[in-house]
Amino acid sequence: MSAEQNSPLPAEAAQPNQAFIPPAALVEFMATDWIDRPSIAQPHPQAQRFAQRRAALSQANRGIYVVVPAGRERVRANDTFFRFRASSDFAYLVGNGEPGAVLVLEPDGARHRSLLFVLDHNRGTPEFFTDREVGELWVGRHRGVAESRNYYGVDDCRSLKRLAGYLHELRDAKYPLRVMRGHDEEIDRVFERSDGDAELAEALSETRLIKDEYELAELRKACAITKLAFEDAARAMRTATSERAIEAAFWSRARIEGNDVGYLTIAAAGDHACTLHWTHNDGRLSPGELLLLDAGVECDSLYTADVTRTLPISGRFSPEQRAIYDLVWEAQRAGIEAVAPGNDFLEPGRRAARILAQGLIDLGILKVSLDEALDPDRLLHRRYTLHGVSHMLGLDVHDCAKAREEAYRYGRLREGMVLTVEPGLYFQPDDGTVPERFRGIGIRIEDDIAVTSDGAENLSAALPSKAEEVEAWLAR
């Protein structure tokens, strides 16, 4: 039965676009005789860690107000929403939160006070049973103001109903202020954009480049659950006839043991694997073809894995598939070996590209020298490799995206960074430069690599990747 059919309101109130004004007697009746529920006394397990992060942000923004929204719910269809996920910047500083929540760091001498705006309880008010977006009868009990202050460990906590007036006071007083933009359109409209906003975004992204022990543990957990989800998908592949069955098997594990998938699952069978971000997942699984599964589980902490395996649907690679697969695997090994503190971020990609380009030459697909293929003014191998080999990983699948290029893309690897290594080869089904026997083959292998003090840790190594190991794993 739908929520509208099961509505506690009169029938006319459950119709779209019709305001319901409850009679006074109903408001009075709904406001009384509720039993107090115990508060959630325990603070967030990482509250002290979040406080330290806020303190570091405070030191970098002395005398400046800092506004970090969690974001709002996004409409999926008419009056239904996508499942809410707090913005990564908010989660990094506070933890996962409810829609509309906003963190403000208020200057207080040489430091800042942390002020959090949250949804408050609304039992005893009309919105408790009439507001489908925030009414606790509709969406469940909010943590509330008092509990949120204790749970998140902030200095002060206030109702979201006071946020608009507070922000307008800041604007009208012309206090120095920086806003994390792109998370809440209403807040973005209150304040004029400034250079300081971009500096704040850069600083947070660059801070998040280095993962602490808690973050590394969460990423290990995400990879461990992702391994189980790949196993579920592999089992489903034995009888599945559609890409959607693979997606569903993976997603089930993500929801049971994590928060969700970290990004839309790519379950690309046959020549769909030649489309880099194939998320339609509406194709058929055919014996003798390959399945490229690019997927990652997001933990409740919002840290996500990002792993790719290319699997033979029938359990064994054909000679043509194996030739390409082994080439990609060798390129990935070279890329992973280049992950070490002090190396350029781009070095894993350079080493992988060299192996892929030479392999393309050996296969007779590229008919130039290796130097010509890799020449920055030509890059002919990119017709078949298409994408870069690495990106940072963390709260976002493409993490720290607002960091300056000199700190990220053109920076050096440092202990605590986590990045993917994911070379691939893609031979389009209609590419006349490719021998017919290879056309329609798309292969990518991806692992999540943490930079250690003396090298690297493969966080997703428990999932087989070498061809014979993949075949043995599928047979089991």
* Secondary structure element (H or E) that encloses residue 350, with its range: helix 347-362
Q: Which alpha helices (H) appear in 174-318, and where do they start and end?
A: 185-190, 195-207, 213-237, 243-257
User: Where are any strands of DSSP class E within 257-342?
Assistant: 260-261, 266-269, 290-295, 297-298, 307-312
Amino acid, single-letter form, for residue 347: E
Q: Which residue has the tokens 């300056």?
A: 404
Which amino acid is residue 373, in one-letter code? A
Pairing of strands 424-426, 442-444: antiparallel
Cβ 451 vs Cβ 340: under 8 Å? yes
CA-wise closest residue to 418 among 394, 435, 438 = 394
The phi, psi pair for 426, rounded to 5°, reads: -135, 115
Distances, alpha carbon 75 to alpha carbons 91, 127, 224, 341, 354, in Å: 21, 20, 32, 43, 45
Q: Which residues are catalytic?
A: 79, 277, 294, 306, 387, 391, 398, 422, 426, 444, 446
Contact 311, 291 (CB under 8 A): yes
The residue written with tokens 């073809």 in the block is: 289
Tokens of 387: 């994408």
Rounded-to-integer distance, Cα 305 and Cα 222, Å? 5
**Rounded distance, CA 88 to CA 125, Å?**
32
Nearest-angstrom CA–CA distance, 36 and 50? 30
Burial of 119 (0-12, 13-18, 19+ CB in 10 A): buried
Tell me how far apart the alpha carbons of residues 266 and 105 are, in angstroms, rounded to a whole number: 39
Length of the chain: 476
Locate 48 and state its tokens: 């002290």
Integer Cα distance of 292 and 441 in angstroms: 10
**Distance from C-alpha of 329 to C-alpha of 308, rounded to nearest angstrom:** 12
